[in-house]
Amino acid sequence: MASKLTATQQEAVAFDGHLLIVAGPGSGKTATSVKKATRILRDRTRSLVMVTFTKEAAEEMRKRLAKSLSSAELRMPGEDRLIVATFHSLAIRHLSRGGPRVKVLSPSTQDVLFRDATFSAGVTKKEWPEVQHDFERFMYSVDQDNVDLQHEKSMAVIERYRELLSATGQTDLYSVMRDCAMKADSGALAPLPFTDMLVDEGQDTDDLQRLWIFAHARAGCRVTIVGDDDQSIYEWRNALGYEGMRSFLDTFRAHRIELGDNFRCKAEILGPAATMIANNRRRLGKHLVARRGRGGVLAAFNCSGPEDQNATLANLIASCPQQHGDAAVLARVNRSLDQLEMVLRVRGIPYRRIGQSIWQQAVIAGYLAFLQMLVDGVPTGLLPVLQMRNVADSVRRDLLFALGGNAGPFLDGQVPNLDADATDIKFLQKLSEHCAYWRRQLSDARNGSVREVILDVGEQYASWTKSDHSKKLVTLCSSILADLRDTLSERLRLVQRKDRESAATLTLMTMHGAKGLEFRTVHIIDANDEDDGSGINPEAERRLYYVALTRARDCCVAWTSGRTHTALLEAKIQARHTEQALVEAVRSSSEAPSDAS
Which residues make up each annotated binding site? Answer: 23-30
User: Residues comprising the binding site for ATP?
Assistant: 23-30
Cα separation, 234 vs 87, in Å, equals 16
Phi-psi region of 413 (alpha: psi -120 to 50; beta: other; left: phi over 0): left
CA distance 34 to 30: 6
Helix, strand, coil share of the chain (percent; to 5): 55, 10, 35
**What per-residue string of b and e applies to 281-308 under the rule 16 or more CB within 10 Å gives b?**
eebbebebebbbeeebbbbbbbbeebee
- By DSSP bridging, strand 552-560 and strand 519-524 are parallel
**Dihedral of the alpha carbons of 32, 34, 40, 41, in degrees to the nearest 10:** -160
Count of other CB atoms within 10 angstroms of residue 177: 24
Give yes or no for a contact between 508 and 398, defined as CB atoms under 8 angstroms apart: no
- The identity of residue 498, as a single letter, is K
The rounded distance, in Å, linking the Cα atoms of 536 and 422 is 50
How many DSSP H helices and E strands does the chain contain?
A: 24, 15
Q: Are 164 and 116 in contact (CB under 8 A)?
A: yes
Rounded to whole angstroms, the Cα distance separating 578 from 150 reads 45
Give, as one character, the DSSP assignment of residue 232. -
CA Rg value for the chain? 26
Between strands 222-227 and 261-262, the pairing is unpaired
Going by C-alpha positions, the residue among 259, 232, 230, 265 that lies closest to residue 519 is: 265
> What single-letter DSSP state applies at residue 104?
B
Helix (H) or strand (E) holding 55: helix 55-71
Question: Using H for helix, E for strand and C for coil, what is the string for 160-187?
Answer: HHHHHHHHHCCECHHHHHHHHHHHHHHC
How far is the C-alpha of 296 from the C-alpha of 553, rounded, in Å? Answer: 8
